[in-house]
Amino acid sequence: MVTTATTLSPHQLLDQVMDPELPFLSIADLGILRGVETVGTRVRVTITPTYSGCPAMDAIRKDIESMLDSHGYQPEVVLSRAPAWTTDDLSPRARDLLQQHGFAPPQPDHSVGCPRCADGPARVVSRFGSTACKALMVCGSCGEPFDLFKELR
Amino acid sequence: MNVLGFADDNLILAQRLSEWVAAAPDLELDIAVANIALDHLGVARALLTHFGDLEGKGRTEDDLAMFRSERELTNLLICEQPNGDFGQTIARQLLFDSYQVGLWEKLAGSPDEVLAAVASKALLEARYHWQHSATWTERLGRGTEESNRRMQSGLVALARYVDEMFDEHQDLRRGFDERLTPVLDESRLVLPKDPFPRRGGRRGMHTEHLGHLLAKMQSLARAYPGVQW
């Protein structure tokens, strides 16, 4: 069943579009949602990539289109690169959510505390992790490996 | 500004770097190299698309990446050089990253707004690449006699391709030296001055290595034009 356009606003719908690699983070919390312009049922959504080659951008674009489309809107997704995304664009909520899900939020230096035992110091295993936005760390105290959301600014 | 040249540098380096995937000395390096290659590919795609728009002949990023021959590619020669051993790869990456950080800093102020936006984004990534290259240079340079020897041979093999990077941007040479020299000094390495610098990449005059790289990179798209995968 197609819900009519009036039930949920584009903003409310976009809050339900998650990053495919960090499915607990909405694109708004991640800071890659740059603008929403609505004229009637037409919605123009502007997003920005976290990294130039982020392969998740195509999936995110499709998720936005299908989310809006299935609620009676006609979406148009635009990619904008300026100003460049930095980790300063993460919402405070995003930092809490990362912590809760076992990721260390970005830190200015690499003096990162382990998100599991809250102890430290952790050391860098690799500056590049399983996706472009993460680095791989290991806790010096409990020995547990964990992902750090890389500082980029 | 030479949008196509910058696009080709990133395209060819991305392809070259990705040859390490599943073959790097350890799993973390596999992942690191793949990530760096992906950043370069993302930049290449954006700039190829932009060049296609500027050119106005309707060529897409895929047309430009997959259907130009060796003589039409305008990348710097250093980008197409073989990976060699891991020491030589790190030598190439350190040299190129030290150049590219300065280039993006400059182009971030370009009057071409699309180029400036791509450059501002790529600058943040290039600094991170540079840190990775510098860390590994130090590790290899100060590691064992063998790791130092290999990294030093890499620098010797690549020295002849350094000057070409500055042909269009003499003003970037100083920043390059300032980024590079302290790292090499710390790592007990030197970049020799090659008496016969090679150039010509920007005019489509390449070393023998580019053709082989293109043969692999373009074979699928040329065998099945328009294929989706």
Residues A33, A73, single domain; the answer is: yes
Q: What is the pLDDT of residue A4?
A: 54
**Vertex B11 angle, CA B227 and B29, to 5°:** 105
Which one of A81, A127, A132 has the shortest CB-CB distance to B117? A81
- By three-state DSSP, how is residue B203 classified? helix
> Are the beta carbons of A51 and B131 separated by less than 8 Å?
no
Establish if A40 belongs to a structural domain.
Answer: yes
Establish if A5 belongs to a structural domain.
Answer: no
Establish if A90 belongs to a structural domain.
Answer: no
Question: Where do the structural domains in chain B lie, given as residue ranges?
Answer: 3-198+208-223
- Contact of B48 with chain A, judged by CB distance below 8 Å, is answered with no
Establish if A86 belongs to a structural domain.
Answer: no
> Are the beta carbons of B135 and A127 separated by less than 8 Å?
yes
| pLDDT tens column, A64-108 | 999 999 999 999 999 998 889 999 999 999 999 998 998 988 876
Return the amino acid letter for A97: L
ipTM of the complex: 0.81
Pairing mode of beta strands A42-47, A74-79:
parallel
For the purposes of burial, counting CB atoms within 10 Å of the CB of A86, is it exposed (0-12), middle (13-18) or buried (19 or more)? middle
- The pTM of this model reads 0.91
| A38 CA: distance to closest CA in chain B (Å) | 25
Q: Which range is least confidently modeled, A112-121, A141-150, B202-211?
A: A112-121
Residues A135, A108, single domain; the answer is: yes
Domain boundary among A31, A48, A79: A79
Any idea what the CATH number is for the domain that residue A51 is in?
A: 3.30.300.130
Establish if A108 belongs to a structural domain.
Answer: yes
> Are the beta carbons of B124 and A152 separated by less than 8 Å?
yes
How many CA atoms lie less than 13 Å away from B186 in the CB half-sphere?
Answer: 12
Residues A117, A71, single domain; the answer is: no
| pLDDT tens column, B165-183 | 999 999 999 999 999 999 9
CATH of domain B3-198+208-223: 1.20.1260.10
Which one of A52, A132, A150 has the shortest CB-CB distance to B121? A52
**Nearest partner of B151 among B116, B104, B208, B190, judged by Cα:** B190
Domain boundary among A52, A79, A106: A79
Q: Identify which has the larger pLDDT, A124 or B144.
A: B144
Residues A67, A18, single domain; the answer is: yes
Domain containing A60: what range? 10-79
Q: What is the pLDDT of residue A152?
A: 83
- Tokens 């943040």 locate to B124
- Restricting to A residues 113-132, those with a Cβ less than 8 Å away from any Cβ of B are 125-130, 132
Residues A62, A102, single domain; the answer is: no
Task: Say whether pLDDT at A150 is over 90.
Answer: no
Enumerate residue ranges in chain B where pLDDT < 70: none
> Band of the pLDDT at A120, cuts 50, 70, 90?
low
- DSSP for B126-166 reads HHHHHHHHHHHHHHHHTS-HHHHHHHHHHHHHHGGGTGGGG
Domain boundary among A29, A44, A79: A79
Which one of A84, A129, A132 has the shortest CB-CB distance to B39? A132
The angle, 0 to 180 degrees and rounded to 10, between the axes of the packed helices B173-186 and B86-107 is: 150
- Contact of B150 with chain A, judged by CB distance below 8 Å, is answered with no
Establish if A87 belongs to a structural domain.
Answer: no
Establish if A18 belongs to a structural domain.
Answer: yes
Q: What is the pLDDT of residue A2?
A: 54
- Contact of A108 with chain B, judged by CB distance below 8 Å, is answered with no
- Contact of A24 with chain B, judged by CB distance below 8 Å, is answered with no
Q: What is the pLDDT of residue B214?
A: 98
Residues A21, A74, single domain; the answer is: yes
Establish if A122 belongs to a structural domain.
Answer: yes
Residues A101, A71, single domain; the answer is: no
| B197 CA: distance to closest CA in chain A (Å) | 32
Q: Identify which has the larger pLDDT, A119 or A60.
A: A60
